Structure 1
Amino acid sequence: MGTKIAGKLLFIGEFCLSLTAVGLFWSTSSGHFREKLWEYGGVKGWNSNPNHRVYSYANYEEPPEIPLIWSPSLTDATLAVALLSIIFLVARITVEYFGQMSRTFSLIYGTFLIFFWFHSIESQASGDFSDPKHSSRHPWYLTRHCQRDIATACRVAQASFIISVLASLLYSERLIATALEAIKAYRTTPGSGYQPVSVDLNLMDGEDWASQEDN
């Protein structure tokens, strides 16, 4: 009974976490927050300045590649991970409802989500080295307080990173718990693995001698 209640609470927590992540990443995408944070940090000298790319175009030069931390592709990728988490959750609930849930499916499910969320965390914490004079190992909003004139974009970005960390911890904990349950079930299942067998050598010698006499 307690296990079922804990499982339902875990589903509710996972759903709320995924829904919050979708809301935050959607806000980042629709509000172009990442571009605003990049420009604000560039003006302050905390990272490369996107406005300086205009000079490259004016001089017919190839501008530096947009750092991953400020690229629209990262915004789209993080939103996709959040949506994928909800899709996987619905699939998990459906399989659980029909009684077809297995540890193998749970392990695969958890492994995929952990991979995507950890990659999302790594990308969200990546640096900007496109301008050697204003390089940064991590985005400024993770190492500095939010300024009043860009508070909304800054706080949404911070909350998105925190939600990503919480999601990674949740899926990691569940994957470890499922793996331990699988190991325990394997060890306690009769007939699993090798079983010690006692052999009476005297009896075997007697049987060999009897078979030789019959021949």
Structure 2
Amino acid sequence: MPYQILRRKWLLRPWMWTLMPLELAGLVPLLVLFGIAQPDLYRTKLWEVGHHYGFNSNPKMILYAYANYEPYPDVPFVWTRTLTDFNVALSVITLFILLAKLIAFIMKFWFPMLAAGLNLAMVALYTVSVYGQMGPDHADPRYPSKIAWYISKSCDYARPFRAYKSCQLAKGTFAVTVYMLALYVANLAIALYVCWPNEGDRAGAVEDDGSDSGSGGSPLDYVKEGRDWEMTGMKGPASPRVMPYTPRTQAFHTLDRKLPLRQHYG
């Protein structure tokens, strides 16, 4: 049997059943956290707090651009609504994929090659989300930032601005996103491991070689090769005077009134 692309046996099924509840445990809070962050629960507030301490650029850069009739500034991805909407869409897609995976896995349609492709796509999407939440801010050369301040620093900086809970929400959202990314990396590793040629492929190949080289073929194989199948592979009778017969031979003898047992013992 050659390498099977789609219908491959899942070698680590217990691990798959373990990862699904873990995905659900991370997805539920992620849906809530991403949902309440839309459209702008704390994004701009944390941006203002960071600028007050010199941790990042000034959120009023957009107003300055409009007031001076300048082009729209290049806002860092971490402070854009695009990231917020992307995270909400990502959580909904994750829910859909988890439900589809559960049903397909039970129905044995969750093929390893399909799982590898989807998990690779989800790893890429969650990598973008993680990068966006902690992403750099180089919009203002005076206040460059490689990592968002609410990730790298304490939330105590936000207390004077009454944004301590908002900072904690942002930290928690980032932590759950990293958790989901780790789970999808594990899923991808399992899928790639199952897709890799293994002992099952070699055993199947040996089985097929044995069946092809043996004498037990189907009638269709003998017809294709132009050989007679009816009397093939039959053992001789115990008595050398008795001719072997098949059900077709028995039918001809019955029509001819020549019953083999009566002829032998009569």
| More helix as a share of residues | 1
Structure 1 residue 151 displacement after superposition:
1.3
Matched, 1:165 2:178: yes
Paired residue for 1:86? 95
Paired residue for 2:163? 150
2: distance between equivalents of 1:105 and 1:185? 21
2:111 to 102, 105, 125: 102
Runs of 4 or more consecutive aligned structure 1 residues displaced over 4 Å after TM superposition:
3-6
Matched, 1:190 2:199: no
Matched, 1:19 2:28: yes
Q: Is residue 56–residue 137 contact of structure 2 (8 Å, CA) maintained in 1?
A: yes
Identity %: 25
Which segments of 5 or more consecutive residues in structure 2 lack a partner in the other structure? 1-11, 210-266
1: distance between equivalents of 2:121 and 2:86? 15
2: distance between equivalents of 1:17 and 1:188? 39
Aligned residues: 191
Once the two structures are superposed, what CA deviation does each residue of 1:172-199 show, in whole Å capped at 9, x if it has no partner?
Answer: 112112222232256434228xx9xxxx
1:134 to 128, 139, 143: 143
Q: Which amino acid aligns with 2:122?
A: L
Over the aligned positions, Cα root-mean-square deviation in angstroms equals 2.2
Q: Is residue 18–residue 83 contact of structure 1 (8 Å, CA) maintained in 2?
A: no
Q: Is residue 39–residue 81 contact of structure 2 (8 Å, CA) maintained in 1?
A: no
Q: Is residue 111–residue 175 contact of structure 1 (8 Å, CA) maintained in 2?
A: yes
Q: Which amino acid aligns with 1:85?
A: T
1:179 to 172, 187, 192: 192
Q: Is residue 114–residue 172 contact of structure 1 (8 Å, CA) maintained in 2?
A: yes
Q: Which amino acid aligns with 2:183?
A: L
Please report the TM-score for the alignment, with normalisation by the length of structure 1.
0.79
Paired residue for 1:114? 123
Q: Which amino acid aligns with 1:188?
A: R
Please report the TM-score for the alignment, with normalisation by the length of structure 2.
0.65
2: distance between equivalents of 1:172 and 1:43? 37
Give secondary structure in 2 for the equivalent of 1:48.
coil
Structure of greater Rg: 2
1: distance between equivalents of 2:65 and 2:111? 56
Give secondary structure in 2 for the equivalent of 1:65.
coil
